[in-house]
A and B are shown apart, each in its own frame.
Chain A
């Protein structure tokens, strides 16, 4: 019976069954509790808000697939947001300012990669350190106050509050980054090596994979994605906020994990991450519509993360029994 089911349901669906089931439950729940949700304007709003987390989560997916973690994304977002605002204030042409801002993000990501590969510092520690440094730099540059950059620019409008063909600009950016990353992970040899490193760094090395190079690129990608999120944030608020990073790091990791990507590396996908991002955004919106306080919302988010991870772990029942025996 079970074998049959395995053959009927495609591998891809089985990998994300938890996310899919959660989604369906959520939809049913929403339809009953807050049908307002299905208003197009509301959905577009949710998507716009989710996009910042989404772009960061896409970069985070690469890192987590290699078995690493990037805690510095929020700090990168803040530094880049502040720098971007300051450059605009100094009348640097906006396209140039965007390029410089993205290079800053990639540079910080590359520093993470160098610390992790060449100096052998654990990813958790290395990115924790750059997180602290980045937050400090953002506060220093901005003197601790938001940097205002109120200018009238079509580019800023598009990446912030405007639309492209009726679709929110940030959502277009998120979708584009997800599609490109999905292609990279599936159709480029690079993508396969990312999974390989997550599967076993040593086996990848002994298979002739350029492990150091790939890890450097992966952390640079994460930095770049965080920088893009920084641009969006600044463009939306017309302010470079030194503490704009906020919960972005935790939210992006949560989205990746809910999407079925293993923190041990080697398993997962961008599609899962997108689902995770949307799921978290939907829950937040639903709770908002129901008038649940933000404090309660955080608690619900935590519970969802635990439930999602619990059900993606294989052999849960056996594990519980074993742990009980080992007590």
Chain B
């Protein structure tokens, strides 16, 4: 624990991370990253999804311990075993998932763990007025007595920042704080971040919206695949340069033999699909045998789009035509009846029945007829195990015991069995090993050959590029651009995805 009372006029930066490496079960996710930030300075940490930004800040926040490297505060080495250690050293983190107690008041959240009490009695009036005053100094006008559950997302975010500052954080880490905010709230948040800088707080700011970074940050650090690929003064770079650095010179992938798709047979057409505040005027078509990739950053509305098509979420206006006929799909069961299947992003709780057997999982979607023929089911299930190369001890094994890749194959088997012809894949390869990934895309190609239409959402740009005939890029609930396979590059996608000119 270092004393933070001294004046920092020395050479050493306030916070320094040296040569940080981290591996998970043999896979290296951070390769010797160096980061430094000074008081009164804003560092922008950028990179694609999965580049290692979250892992890096988690090591700084004490949530995970790096395998190699050291963290120094004012030149003195510190070791964080727990988040509390980091907090004591003045490092506060505001994660994307906010850690507030929804049914406690603003005051209680702000002072949590630091209540004054006199012989067990909490002086509420005094606390509320103290909270009010403290919020005021940050330019926040929230009534301290309000329940956190009644606050808007922006207000919660501000409260989370206020909470971090209340414990006198010298370093504030903001993990994509603007991802969930609208235009006006973003401006307010950026204003507050600037104020913090003036107060001498060191800020590490993670954002995908490059435009924000240029008005705000002093320095930048680009991560790609766990490597530190560039860093420097923000004034020495520009939007396109930064995008190029984020994407990097990537290895060219072996060309995949994509199935020739049939533009004459339209499987799905979406017209003017809108869900207030989430999706705005979405129009596109999906053809037989086609893989339509949907790219975009987290929160751009990709999941919401496929869920709206599938009837899992309500929609406010717009039409969905399935094989030329207008469909009234307002519930997943109707989607399945019209031949649409969804492989959800959250495999564990939405795609699978973890406590049920593999067999039960495979036959959960729309069985033929009211009776179950256990013998023929077992035969069919065995044929799926063979054709999809699913590795399992027995069909009676609980699905939750399988590896991620095999779990996902069970989900695919479920949809194959149900006889659908439009498949919506939402991040189908998340958390799956490389071998299974290839197999899953192999299955997708086979399905296209058989005339299925597939929508593929992925945050892994190489996967989208490799497997899609066409790519739509979403930004803030809209389709920001459409790219053909020939024109699609990571740079082109990223440009649309970060809200560049269309």
- A residues at B contact (CB < 8 Å): 11, 186-193, 195-196, 199-200, 202-210, 262, 264, 266-267
Contact = CB atoms under 8 A, between A and B. Distances in A.
B83 interface: no
**Closest CB pairs A-B (n = 4):** A208-B336, A199-B353, A207-B365, A208-B333
Point out which of B355, B360, B365, B367 has the most chain A C-beta atoms below 10 A from its C-beta.
Answer: B355
Contacts of B356: 195-196, 199, 266-267
Contacts of A195: 353, 356, 360
Nearest to B377: A192
A5 to B, nearest CB: 14
A189 B417 CA distance: 14
B371 interface: yes
Nearest to A188: B370
Interface in B307-328: 310, 312
Given A192-B363, A196-B360, A208-B337, A203 B372 contact: no
Contacts of B335: 208
Given A208-B335, A208-B337, A188 B363 contact: no
Interface of B: 310, 312, 331-333, 335-337, 342, 344, 349-356, 360, 363-367, 369-372, 374, 396, 414, 418
Contacts of A202: 349-350
A203 B407 CA distance: 14
Given A192-B363, A196-B356, A203 B351 contact: yes
Contact of B332 (A187, A193, A206): A206
A203 B349 contact: yes
A205 B351 CA distance: 10
Contact of B364 (A190, A209, A262, A267): A209
B396 A206 contact: no
Given A187-B371, A192-B372, A267-B355, A208 B418 contact: yes
B349 A189 contact: no
Nearest to A11: B396
A207 B372 contact: no
A192 B355 contact: no
Point out which of B312, B344, B356 has the most chain A C-beta atoms below 10 A from its C-beta.
Answer: B356
Contacts of B351: 203, 206
Contacts of B370: 188-190
Contact of B312 (A190, A196, A205): A205
Contacts of B336: 207-208
Nearest to A197: B353
21 contacts: A188-B371, A189-B370, A189-B372, A190-B370, A191-B372, A192-B360, A192-B367, A193-B364, A195-B356, A196-B360, A199-B354, A199-B355, A199-B360, A203-B351, A203-B353, A203-B364, A204-B364, A206-B351, A207-B332, A207-B414, A209-B333
